[in-house]
Amino acid sequence: MGKYIINGGKKLAGEVNISGAKNAVLPILAATVVGQNRSTIFNTPNLRDVEIMEKILLSIGCVVDRMDNIIYVDSRQLNSFVIPDDLVREMRSSIILMGAMLSRCGEVIISYPGGCEIGPRPIDLHLKALKEMGVTIEESHGFLHCKCEKLQGCEIQLDYPSVGATENTILAAVKAKGTTIIRNAAREPEIIDLQTYLNKCGAKVSGAGTSIIKIEGVDKFKDVKHTIISDRIVAGTYMAASTITGGEVVLKNIEIDYIQAIVAKLKEAGSLVYYDSNSLKIVGPKKLNSIEMVQTLPYPGFPTDMQAQMMALLSIANGTSIISETVFENRFKHAEELIRMGANIKIIGRVAVVKGVKELTGAKVKSKDLRGGASLVLAGLTAKGTTEVDNICHIERGYEDFDLKLRELGADIEKVK
């Protein structure tokens, strides 16, 4: 599994380049199967989840080549519609292959997905949308067998602006007969990036970034080159790392419009933030302010993927903060590990009451999910003494060279097997 050994108390300083977005590259890699074409994807982060998606594409007959941060996918020879069960269980995002494979093959067999244990994330919205487009779905023994003769465009009203359901519906609709309109669509930047990729291929998708997305079905796709947007959650995590250590860090290659909700809360906590079009400098305060309320919401609200990092930060703030998690119902598993380090946190349902303490102390803690693991690293950076963060395979699903980049900023962190 591996672990990080962190000796806390170092102020971070320097520059860090923000890698491509995990949550943008995975649906785009799924989309490469749709068009029977060749795709060259730039700014691809080196992550475990990306490796799993590569293995899935290889297993169904695609040619995949990787060189540093460039991935080349040739999907012309795709020869299977069965997605390997062992790979799906490792990564929840594999479910977005459902819409893509139906677009390409009219059929897919896939198991219920795995990934982080952060509470139920039902895929009923995905299935409901696909059924409205003419897909028949048989569920048995943990597998979904989805099939259709011809996907049919229609109007789909999502009950909740689910990112995955929006992406799956777009991927199913790009070659469907007629026009598909998705209402109450998710508005995340990663969906805009998916639209950009698809339209470069020859698709006709409009409205991404708003609550209404329109897709006109097309027959043919062309070869494409595309650069993945930078990762707003990775950016937010390094911003939180600078803030919690009272550091001074410059982030390069960022999309400033996409991180405004994070910037606002870190300013509230006392940080100074300066930015231009694609870089940002964040200076952490000597003493952190508590925040009256942090409430996670779908984009453009405060992201659920930054909730754990904010909890670590607020655990040493001056005063009491309230965190309300509205997106996932079981996303406070990191709290008990922070408490091991001396944090004063009370969990009441989907609300966490965080009473700031003078300092955290190093301890042996365990990463239980991706963002919770990142929060423990942040806590370790400021804690007195040595922190061991175990089970870092979760963290490596979403952060490229996390220990190396933190070390370049001055952190005392080492990765051991």
66 among the known binding-site residues? no
Q: Which amino acid is at 355?
A: K
Distances (CA, A) of 257 to 135, 261, 283, 285: 37, 9, 19, 23
Catalytic residue annotation:
116
Backbone angles phi, psi at 274, to 5 degrees: -125, 140
**Is residue 83 within 8 Å of residue 97, measured between CB atoms?**
yes
- Do strands 279-283 and 272-275 pair parallel, antiparallel, or not at all (unpaired)? antiparallel
Q: What are phi and psi of 335, to 5 degrees?
A: -60, -45
Phi, psi (5° rounding) for residue 393?
Answer: -55, -35
Q: Is 333 annotated as a binding residue?
A: no
Burial (Cβ within 10 Å: 0-12, 13-18, ≥19) of residue 348: exposed
CB count within 10 Å of CB 87 equals 20
**Omega before 189 within 30 of 0, i.e. cis:** no
314 is in an annotated binding site: no
Paired residues of 387 in beta bridges: 6
Is 124 annotated to bind a ligand? Reply is yes
Q: Which amino acid is at 258?
A: Y
Give the HSE-up count for residue 263: Cα atoms under 13 Å, Cβ half-sphere. Answer: 18
Has 92 been labeled as part of a binding site?
Answer: yes
Q: Tell how strand 351-355 and strand 344-348 pair up.
A: antiparallel
Could you identify the residue written with the tokens 């300066």? 274
Find out whether 23 and 50 touch, Cβ atoms under 8 Å.
Answer: no
Are the CB atoms for 134 and 148 separated by under 8 Å?
A: yes
Asked if residue 123 belongs to a known ligand binding site, the reply is yes
Q: How many CB atoms lie within 10 A of CB 14?
A: 13
| Alpha-carbon gap, residue 349 to 289, rounded angstroms | 24
Does 125 show up as a binding residue in the annotation?
yes
Listed residue (214, 164, 212, 180) closest to 30, CA to CA: 164
Number of C-beta neighbours around residue 235 at 10 A = 27
Residues in the annotated binding site for UDP-N-acetyl-alpha-D-glucosamine: 92, 121-125, 305, 327
Which residue ranges make up the annotated binding site for phosphoenolpyruvate? 22-23
